[in-house]
């Protein structure tokens, strides 16, 4: 798992639109802020990700006639869940939660800014091929251990963890510092996939130990 000084804490999408009152609110999304801030105090190396969509993003249900949020459509890269408009560039919904301590962040990865493709993972867009540059950043700095927390467990956190493990990083997810959308069993599926991939699923208290 590594210790906080030789691991990178990657905080996924703790933004207003994913918190209560937001356009795509994750149940209890704001509850991750306090445990994440406690983690930030212990880590020397912190990276944030930020959903950053143009207002005509292809993952928005409003861009597909006859489609509703949380339905699906087929894209060139596979099946895409359709979402309410959220985290639009420059809006308050795209901003980090006001109580999140972003001071120590050494890098912010913005994702989903290409209108034609969604991006759940901190490492790749949803075609599973277009990189965000995060893996290169971590490797160039000599880090091979990552600890993930944020929103949502079953989408952006889960995809990020799976990609990190696939890329050879020793990967841990702090489950009490995450919350899930749980769309049609997506949380149980994500947990199973992460375990199968060798991702360590832990709690803050265990990580501290």
3-state secondary structure string across the chain:
CCCCCCCEEEEECCEHHHCCCCCCCCCCHHHHHHHHHHHHHHCCEEEEEEECECCCCCCEHHHCCCCCCCCEEEECCEEEECECCCCECCCHHHCECCCCCCCCEEEEEEECCCCCCCCCCCCECCCCCCECCHHHHHHHCCCCEEEEEEECHHHHHHHHHHHHHHCCCEEEEEEEEEECCCCCCHHHHHHHHHHHCCCEEECHHHHHC
pLDDT of residue 208: 73
Query: Cβ neighbours of residue 208 under 8 Å, at least 6 residues apart?
Result: 42
pLDDT of residue 120: 96
- The pTM score is 0.95
Helix axis angle for 158-166 and 186-196, nearest 10°, is 20
pLDDT of residue 207: 84
pLDDT of residue 4: 64
Catalytic residues: 13, 111, 156
Query: Cβ neighbours of residue 14 under 8 Å, at least 6 residues apart?
Result: 29, 32, 33, 36, 48, 96, 97, 100, 150, 151
Kindly list the averaged pLDDT for each block of 10 residues, start to end, along the chain of length 209. Answer: 76 98 97 97 97 97 95 94 97 98 97 96 95 97 97 97 98 98 95 98 88
Take residue 69 and report the two structure tokens written for it. Answer: 């949020």
């Amino acid at each position: 798992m590594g210790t906080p000084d030789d691991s990178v804490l990657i905080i996924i999408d703790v933004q207003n639109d994913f918190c209560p009152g937001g356009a795509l609110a994750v149940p209890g999304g704001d509850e991750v802020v306090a445990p994440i801030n406690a983690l930030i105090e212990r880590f020397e190396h912190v990276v944030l990700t930020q959903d950053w969509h143009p207002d005509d993003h292809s993952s928005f249900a409003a861009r597909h006639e006859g489609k509703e949020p949380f339905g699906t459509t087929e894209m060139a890269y596979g099946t895409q869940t359709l979402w309410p408009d959220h985290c639009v560039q420059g809006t308050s919904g795209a901003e980090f939660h006001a109580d999140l301590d972003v001071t120590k962040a050494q890098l912010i990865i913005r994702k989903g800014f290409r209108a034609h493709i969604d991006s759940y993972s901190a490492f790749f867009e949803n075609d599973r091929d277009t990189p965000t540059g995060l893996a290169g950043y971590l490797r160039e700095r000599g880090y091979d251990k990552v600890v993930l927390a944020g929103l949502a467990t079953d989408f952006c956190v889960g995809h990020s963890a799976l990609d990190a493990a696939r890329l050879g990083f020793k990967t841990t997810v702090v489950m009490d510092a995450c919350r899930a959308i749980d769309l049609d069993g997506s949380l149980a599926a994500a947990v199973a996939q992460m375990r199968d991939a060798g991702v360590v699923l832990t709690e803050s208290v265990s990580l501290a130990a």
